[in-house]
Amino acid sequence: MGLFKKEFCAVCGEKISLLGKRKVEDGVVCSKCTKKLSPFFKERKKSTVNDIKDQLAYREDNRQKLNSFNQTRTYGTRTKVYIDDAQQCFVVSRARDFREDNADIIKLSQVTGARYDVKEHRSEIFRKDSEGRSVSYNPPRYEYSYEFKVYINVNSPYFDEIEFELTDYRPDSRHSSDYHRFEDMANELVSALKDSKRNMMNSNSGFMGMAAAAPFEGQQMMNGPELKNNLEVKFGSKNPVPYPQNINGNQVSLAVRFIGKFVISVVNPQQFMSCGSVEDISGALRAQVENSAGEAISLCARNGIPVAQLPARSNEIAKYVKDNLESGWQAQFGVTMESIAFASLSLTEESAAAYKQMRVAQFNRPAQHDYMEQQAERQYQQDAVQQQAQTWVCPACGTENTSKFCVGCGTPRG
């Protein structure tokens, strides 16, 4: 009698090798059969033998249908999404040949949701001390990378979510060109899946014809309980914005956080309604505001503006964001930005400690360290207050300014 009992695949009947056994709810199947299942299928152990047979039949039928699939649009880098607009379907595959890969054909009508997420990965940077040991910087320094993940929810009997990484290279900064390239790519992909499905539904239901014939009904929908006359959206930095600063001849790596809110109003209800739910649109607008605010703060750092003056520059930063985004919003989302304001522009705790430490060094009195920390903190606040006191309102256009000329219309300060 052999040491191991011979087992045979409940699907194909072939003998199962020692390492090739895969369990299902009411039997075992071989690894060759399970490799033919959809790569998005995750419920094998909870499936019966008949369930596996049904899916393999579907997969074989899917392979035949791929012969008539003709992609008209492609999104992604390593893992790609191919859309067939004529047949209103798409496939997702990482293989060079998605037909050889037998990528699942999914109807756009099966899509129940699409989104992307950016995951930040952080690792500390160390330095060598005089004895050659790796030690932390003071304050600690980090290097970052950003991973873009796409999630597509579908209504399928075999899987309900497709998840993959969009990035083939992970950017090291939220303000880099690579980061913005992947961000644009992710937005285009999500919009393509949602818009294609929405257009198909509108074509079938005649909704667009109804909206065009009854614009006031559309306006009433947008001013209903889901959205009032104006919509207020709060925003804030998910990650601190690097703010290198030269203090006492030393380059210090500081970081700034911000929070605020902006108000939008709907000027084109039909365009607004075609972009998704209020929550989806608010999230997209918030992400754009946060990115633009980060760009403005980085620009202040490159221009050598002291970090203590940032609170007094909040109006200029807000104007930069508004001017940068408003025209695009009206065309893309059918909304206009009524106002934007920053409630706080402040250093992170680590940066504030480093800032105070450098300011304390100006006094050069080690015995009075606690006193000097208080003086440094007081000086930081006085710098901000002094800069704020220099703010003036342009008599021509009403813009608040701190420079000699109005940033809104160029009128010189009186």
CB-based contact 40:159 (threshold 8 Å): yes
- Per the listing, tokens 């930095």 go with 237
Show pLDDT as tens, one digit a residue, over the chain (414 residues).
455 577 888 888 888 887 888 888 888 899 899 999 999 998 888 889 899 999 999 999 999 999 999 988 888 888 999 999 889 999 999 998 999 999 999 999 999 999 999 999 999 999 999 999 999 998 888 899 999 999 999 999 999 999 999 888 899 888 888 888 888 888 888 888 876 555 554 444 443 333 333 332 333 333 333 344 578 888 888 888 998 887 767 778 888 999 889 988 888 877 787 787 777 788 889 989 999 999 999 888 888 888 888 888 888 899 999 888 877 888 888 888 888 988 888 888 888 887 777 766 655 444 344 444 455 455 555 555 554 555 666 776 666 666 665 655 566 676
The three-state secondary structure class of 131 is coil
The residue type of 383 is D
Integer angstrom CA distances of residue 78 from 96, 108, 116, 163? 9, 22, 16, 13
- Give the helix, strand, coil percentages of the chain, each rounded to 5: 40, 30, 30
Domains of the chain: 1-64 (no CATH), 69-125+138-208 (no CATH), 218-414 (3.30.479.30)
Spatial separation of the C-alpha atoms in residues 102 and 93, rounded to whole Å: 9
Integer angstrom CA distances of residue 199 from 89, 204, 212? 13, 9, 14
Does the reported pTM lie above 0.75?
no
CB-based contact 198:257 (threshold 8 Å): no
DSSP states along 228-297: -SEEEEEEE-SSPEEEEEEETTEEEEEEEEEEEEEEEEES-HHHHHTT--HHHHHHHHHHHHHHHHHHHH
Q: Is the peptide bond before 225 cis (omega within 30 degrees of 0)?
A: no
pLDDT of 408 reads 55
Residues recorded for the chain: 414
Where is 224: in which H helix or E strand? none
Q: Which residues contact 313 (CB under 8 A, 6 or more apart)?
A: 300, 305, 345, 387, 402
* Tens-digit pLDDT profile for residues 91-117: 999 998 999 999 999 999 999 999 999
- DSSP letter (8 states) at residue 104: P
List the beta bridge partners of residue 245: 252
Spatial separation of the C-alpha atoms in residues 191 and 197, rounded to whole Å: 10
* Tens-digit pLDDT profile for residues 22-52: 888 888 899 899 999 999 998 888 889 899 9
Q: Encoding tokens for residue 229? A: 């006359």
Q: Which residues contact 81 (CB under 8 A, 6 or more apart)?
A: 74, 75, 90, 91, 92, 189, 192, 193
> Which H, E and C letters describe 357-395, residue by residue?
HHHHHHHCCHHHHHHHHHHHHHHHHHHHHHHHHCCEECC
Q: How many CB atoms lie within 10 A of CB 410?
A: 10
Where is 85: in which H helix or E strand? none
The three-state secondary structure class of 42 is coil
Comparing C-alpha atoms, which of 9, 62, 53 is closest to residue 31? 9
